[in-house]
A and B are shown apart, each in its own frame.
Chain A
């Protein structure tokens, strides 16, 4: 293992690629198909290189240790250090990010409008996302966390659907409102604890009365990002209007930042407040699971349906996290990774038919299995994964979070169970309407099955869904040490609490 600042390279490689794109763009104006193709290929190369570097980090990582690894630390300004490091939890999410990015670039191959700007923003987004998971300094974390809004705002607003401007504003302002409250809390924490280092803050005991306020401020940010009911309403709009690849990133990575935040900040730093607010989170989680599932059932837009299903699945994550035991937290982490794969694949499935027909209306489709058998099979696989069929990656996460919640509060687990049934209802209904039956819409008569590029996109996702479903230990063992550390710290406080 060569000694190099691997995390910095990992973070800033995509940004360097983006800078290169900007540099090569200058001097050119107007449409230039040859140049656009070059831009796409270059972006693909950059994202694949980033993925390879993340594999290098993965290879050098020791999953048996709960501590942070690949630590980099340099003083910066205002008492803030440029401080990076990964543990099992963050590295798993980083690899998920870097693995999905090349697929997103491939899925964006059909983009023709302002290609260079699009790819630049995507690469910047990758930098910011990796940075969120690698940051070990509170302020650095916030910078990456919040910075992701900029490229996403423009991506939704320029390349999105009909109501894209509305969706972009809603996404940005909702998330920002949550985040600035967190910023005030961060400032307060810096002044109270005198440090911005995340490991030091996790070891610091805040006064329980102060914890309540800090917890609420962080909750405001993460709950919006997650998104939890009732602050989830930005998500369906953003998902529906965003271009396919942005939807994929939004569902697979950006939503995970909320769960990551709960695990990294709320539980370790404000354990007393977390205990105090657990009933609130449970209630919101169950409402999210049941309510979002019911709403999903009534959707007429495929993407919106999947968006609501994301809200429901994130409910399992928050439920598992705040169950605060080994099963719950491990299940939540697993569910995040699995949802990253499955929701990404589902949005890509929508993208496949949207690219061909330019509509996402469920009623428009029907009988696709006749013309697109391979697509129908792929779509089936991921729908079942979303439903939580054993053998696919959706199942272990849901069952673990429910086991975790059951040992804390049986009613919550019962509610979540209901949600699992409902997910089968809306998932399979969607599938029936889109894929089964005979083709009644004449416009579908000429629709073609998956092409080579789409095969390349889906194959890794299929493998991931199957591997995670059949051998969940691959991911669970990897994140066990860090999740155990979080649970141990939390339970020490919970045991002591009255």
Chain B
């Protein structure tokens, strides 16, 4: 139980990763004000180091028992530590793969690492949220930073449109969240998760109403169908490094947050919310897989792919309890490097001096750059869930979670969607390997290519051999946190 008689900041050291991020963001504003855009490169490097440090620190220094900070507003535990490690590393990777892109498109501004840092801070708070207010604050911090990042190319119509669209729809989702939270507060008399848990089973209908609204708002943030409409447009319009960021870290943060909301306060209502999650999962997988078949733009394709993948992660959450949390986090741990790697490759390749944008832009890559093509092959087959790549194990464990939760039908839907999804990943591979190039693809962006190589190595073979370790971490984190 939370010790309320302690001095207010007595265990604030557990928030060190958040403090690093906040410190970086505030310090970077000062450096940027002084150095202007010439400091962009330096700040990117510094930011990457700060994010990675914060993430790794959060993981290595995660407490054995949950630690409650700020009168129970934040909780630091193994689960949040593991999630923060992945969030921090993804944010760092975003800066690495983005540097070259922004330089090439003359968009290198010092605010970018700051915005990324604030978004990362928001996500750190999200995965540690222990009451509805913190949840909202974290989510909004992340979202507001993300709206700015989406509209980063001010002179580009599509980018501005992406920012506006994301902002308007995101504001509606935030409204839903607050509305739902007000119901939960009204029916339980508390915003703190443990107090809600104590009150939850007594007052069902209004509480469920509030819970469903909160789930809908989070589904919007993680772009689960039917709340995914913004995703393709925002992904397409935003600068590619930003898209890479959106596709990876916020999904994990939202999934982890959802796990926290569902498991801690509403454990008694599992049978009720499970139906909602089943529906979201089935819809996301189906829509994500089928809609992607028609796409020609790589970023739109990856947008729908992320919708489908969120569906799979939700399938894991539906299992409930420690197993659900562990499965979801392992799934995301495999999904994150895969998707970042794919975007890194997209960023590393040029055609006629411009970044590749459509599937056909990749034509002839296999003949010209077998190495980049091999990386693409590994990453795409992994995200399609084909063994022996790590993505397969993600699919395997979410199917196991679904069957364990008694939803064999959901696993079958997932299996069929996996085949449909394979068809569009194969289309990309078919362009890479089978089509002759119209004009040669060039390789540029050494950092991006290196990131892709690291991601591929993670997917295969490191992660495959190290799966046992990953599973142990996730299980341990889940068992000490839920």
Contacts and interface: CB of A to CB of B under 8 A. Distances in A.
B430 A157 contact: yes
A179 to B, nearest CB: 9
A168 B430 CA distance: 9
B395 A76 contact: no
A395 B433 CA distance: 42
Contact of B387 (A142, A153, A184): A142
B412 A181 contact: yes
B137 to A, nearest CB: 36
A25 B400 contact: no
Nearest to A30: B368
Nearest to A127: B388
Contacts, number: 104
Contact of B434 (A146, A147, A150, A165): A165
Interface stretch (B102-110, B148-156, B419-427): B419-427
Interface residues on A, range: 35 or more
Contacts of A172: 422, 426
A225 B215 CA distance: 42
B468 A76 contact: yes
Nearest to B371: A26
Interface stretch (B89-97, B170-178, B192-200, B403-411): B403-411
Interface string B271-314: 00000000000000000000000000000000000000000000
A117 B368 CA distance: 11
B370 A187 contact: no
Chain A, interface SS category:
helix
B423 A147 contact: no
A165 B430 contact: yes
Contacts of B408: 184, 188
A256 B81 CA distance: 48
A142 B386 CA distance: 10
Nearest to B399: A187
Interface in B362-397: 366-368, 370-371, 374, 377, 381, 386-388, 392-393, 395-397
A116 interface: yes
B184 interface: no
B49 interface: no
B386 A147 contact: yes
B400 A158 contact: no
B470 interface: yes
Contacts of B422: 172-173, 176
A45 interface: no
A177 interface: yes
A445 to B, nearest CB: 34
A78 to B, nearest CB: 6
A230 interface: no
Contacts of A168: 426, 430, 434
A115 to B, nearest CB: 11
**Which residue among B387, B392, B433 has the maximum number of chain A CB atoms within 10 Å of its CB?**
B387
Nearest to A169: B426
Contacts of B368: 29
A22 interface: yes
Given A77-B468, A78-B396, A180-B416, A158 B423 contact: no
A145 to B, nearest CB: 8
A38 B38 CA distance: 50
25 contacts: A25-B371, A75-B468, A76-B468, A77-B467, A77-B468, A77-B470, A77-B471, A78-B467, A142-B387, A143-B387, A146-B392, A153-B426, A158-B433, A168-B430, A173-B419, A173-B423, A177-B416, A180-B416, A181-B415, A183-B399, A183-B415, A184-B412, A187-B400, A188-B403, A191-B404
Given A78-B400, A154-B429, 9 more contacts: A29-B368, A78-B396, A114-B367, A143-B387, A146-B387, A154-B433, A158-B433, A169-B430, A172-B426
Interface of A: 22, 25-26, 29, 75-78, 113-114, 116-117, 128, 139, 142-144, 146-147, 149-150, 153-154, 157-158, 164-165, 168-169, 172-173, 176-177, 180-181, 183-184, 187-188, 190-191
Interface of B: 366-368, 370-371, 374, 377, 381, 386-388, 392-393, 395-397, 399-400, 403-404, 408, 411-412, 415-416, 418-419, 422-423, 426, 429-430, 433-434, 467-468, 470-471
